[in-house]
Amino acid sequence: MTNAADDEGFVVFDRVQKSYDGETLVVKDLNLSIGKGEFLTMLGPSGSGKTTCLMMLAGFETATHGEIRLGGENINNVPPHKRGIGMVFQNYALFPHMTVGENLAFPLEVRGMGKSEREQKVKRALDMVQMGNFINRRPAQLSGGQQQRIALARALVFDPKLVLMDEPLGALDKQLREHMQFEIKHLHETLGITVVYVTHDQGEALTMSDRVAVFNDGRIQQLAPPDELYERPQNSFVAQFIGENNKLPGVVETLSGDKCTVRLETGEIIDATPVNVREAGQKTLVSIRPERVEFKSEMMPEGAHTIGAEVLEVIYMGDIFRTRMRVAGSEEFVMKSRNTLGQTKLVEGEKIQIGWHPQDARALDPM
């Protein structure tokens, strides 16, 4: 194993394609490099190819074309049991006829490990997930969250180089899910393992990952750290898939360097930052996060264009107000404002002027 493989390309997908029926590609030309110790999330809607990628990495599916390397070695023809990859399955896949202890001992047993060493490792792994007292229970006697922890411990007990997680928190309720997100994150940090995590829950992806690969239509749409992904989406799909988003269709009016103006369908002109538009006159979709929309003139940056809006609905959500407005013909334009002391209360039918920093309005390709 070379150093280069250690740092940059611990797991490498090199021009990988996958087809199940020989007619359509589920994964199209995937190039992805995952560093050692990285927590990478594959995020995307169902059918986007993310689970197929994971299954190819685990060895349950073979790549139709291209190469998958682990630690610098081509593993295309290595059977799953020789890859040394730990995996947490969607429904945990804990063996129902074995106790928790036997479940954890299984990977050690098939590796021919001695009894005393096995017991020691099982105990350590169970303590790691705070389930030391459950060693003699059967999976059916555990709650969903407990089963989740055991599945995690089982995937880690044989010290794998790489751990794959296939929507592991999908079956848990919201509170437990959030709690487990932090626990998995902490385990990742303390153990220093490489994790490839598959989910369709964007919140989960943003909370846990070092980098997120957004999948759609068999391709990676954007590969970036969570903050960049949220604040600087590279195309309309990513902008819409990650977080809430206001979309205003229009045509690029002027374009100079990192600034542009866009004429909306109803004639108004707004400021925006060009992301993947190349010339004036091109159709575009301007995307603005609801929490970056301002309606108080003192908060607006100097020289910014403002636009008229009619309040349609104000929803009290506790920490924020969610205001739905009619803007440039769209009735789905949403503004989120913090519920601070002395916040201006908007009422239905009120006409206001809204605006935003040009950096927050991103002119993307029309879908």
Partner 1 sequence: MTDVSASILTTADGKPLKAALAASQARARRKAFMLVAPLFLFVVITFVIPIGQMLFQSVYNDTFSATAPALRQWFDENPPGTEPDEAAYAALVSDLRLMREERSAGAAGTRINYDISGTRSMFTGMARKADKLEPPYKEAVLAEDKKWDNPDVWRAMRSASSPFTIDFYLAALDMTRDETGSIVGVKEGQAVYKMLFGRTLFLSALITVMCMALAFPIAHMLATLPMAKSNLLMILVLLPFWTSLLVRTTSWMVLLQSQGVVNDFLVWAGIVGDDGRIQMMYNQIGTVVAMTHILLPFMVLPLYSVMRTIPPSYVRAARSLGATSWTAFRRIYLPQTLPGIGAGALLVFILAVGYYITPALVGGADGQLISNLIAFHMQKSLNWSLAAALAALLLGGILILYWLYDRLVGIDNMKLG
Which residues in this chain contact partner 1 in the complex, by CB under 8 A? Answer: 58-60, 79-87, 89-91, 93, 95-97, 106-107, 110-111, 154-155, 158, 164
3-class DSSP state of 363: strand
Min separation Cβ 61 and partner 1, Å:
11
Tokens representing residue 112 in the block:
């021919």
Closest approach, Cβ 181 to partner 1, in A, equals: 22
Who's near 24: CB < 8 A, 6+ residues apart? none
Q: Which residues partner with 216 through β-bridges?
A: 219
Question: Angle, to 10 degrees, between the axis of helix 144-156 and the axis of helix 115-128?
Answer: 130
Structure tokens at 63: 């790549």
Between 76 and 330, CB nearer to partner 1: 76
Taking the complex as a whole, the smallest distance from the CB of residue 98 to partner 1 amounts, in Å, to 8
CB atoms within 10 A of CB 311: 18
- Measured between alpha carbons, how far is 79 from 128 in angstroms, rounded to an integer? 29
Least CB distance to partner 1 at residue 201 (A): 20
194-199 vs 162-166, strand pairing mode: parallel
**CA-CA distance, 244 to 236, in Å (whole number)?**
12
| Complex with partner 1: residue 68 or 277, whichever CB lies closer | 68
Q: Minimum distance between the CB of residue 95 and partner 1, rounded to whole angstroms?
A: 6
User: Quick one: CA torsion of 166, 170, 175, 177, rounded to 10 degrees?
Assistant: 0
CB closer to partner 1, 20 vs 316: 20
Token pair of 330 as six digits: 């769209």
> Nearest approach, Cβ of 111 to partner 1 (angstroms)?
6
- Smallest gap, in angstroms, from Cβ of residue 55 to partner 1? 9
Give backbone dihedrals phi and psi of 127, rounded to 5 degrees, phi first: -65, -35
Total count of residues recorded for the chain: 367
> Nearer Cβ to partner 1, position 89 or 230?
89
Q: Is the CB of 83 or the CB of 289 nearer to partner 1?
A: 83
Which one, 163 or 334, has the nearer CB to partner 1? Answer: 163
| Strands across the sheet containing 73-74 | 27-34, 11-18, 65-70, 73-74
Given the complex with partner 1, which of 162 and 311 has the nearer CB atom?
A: 162
